[in-house]
Amino acid sequence: MTEAAVALADEHGLEALTMRAVAERVGVGAMTLYGYVPGKSELLELMLDAVAGTTYEVGARPGDQDGWQGALRHIAERNYSHALAHGWSVEVPPGRPILGPGVCLKYEAELTPLDGIGLSDEAMDHVVSTVVNMATGAARWQLGLDRVRAASQLSDDRWWALSQPVLAAVMEGLQLPISTRVGNSIASAGDPHASLVAGVELLIAGLGSRPGPGL
């Protein structure tokens, strides 16, 4: 059931996920499905846990990397690519942590390379949560850009060329020296992956310069 629901969401998005559609995919009646799971919200939790459990199923794990710095980079990249592969997962509104085996095993794998480097338990949790949230946020941004680009049929360069004169007219008279300078330097719709990489490197630099244990 959960595997079928994940496949359905991967193929057609979260809007296609209904109890009836999942029931049809597994070849049972909708009422039969309700005998296994109370409703869609509970099904989503099962799906998120199942997907989390496959994050490091193939390839290297965070603890296999060269040092905690390499581990954080690996966590960021793997969560980013995994979120892109399961785009629906970043559309589910966040809430309380899901306490399933998949999520717990993933959390253990991501904490392991940070254990013993001088961080408190709370700080270790904050670091992992920050990197994972940065990665999923970047993936959500990238997926949004992909949808807009496909719908508009405009390249980013063309979009910027059309937007710039309108923006200049609307902003006339406003004193925005810093944002104008930075915006002109970037002059694009943004690069989610580049922002993720830069953010992780800044976090690593900050952790590397910490004064002592406990952050």
Measured N-to-C along each axis, helices 2-12 and 19-26 cross at an angle, to the nearest 10 degrees, of: 110
Residue percentage of the chain with pLDDT more than 90: 57
> What's the mean per-residue pLDDT of the chain?
89
User: pLDDT for 53-87, tens place per residue?
Assistant: 999 998 899 999 999 999 999 999 999 999 999 99
Query: What's the token pair of residue 153?
Result: 């049929």
Q: For position 132, what pLDDT does the model report? A: 97
Nearest to 196 by CA among 143, 142, 122: 142
Q: For position 49, what pLDDT does the model report? A: 96
Higher-pLDDT residue of 189, 40: 40
Give residue 214's pLDDT band: very low, low, confident or very high (50, 70, 90): very low
* Statement: residue 97 has pLDDT above 90: no
User: pLDDT for 1-18, tens place per residue?
Assistant: 889 999 999 999 988 898
User: pLDDT for 140-186, tens place per residue?
Assistant: 999 999 999 889 888 888 887 887 788 778 877 888 788 777 776 66
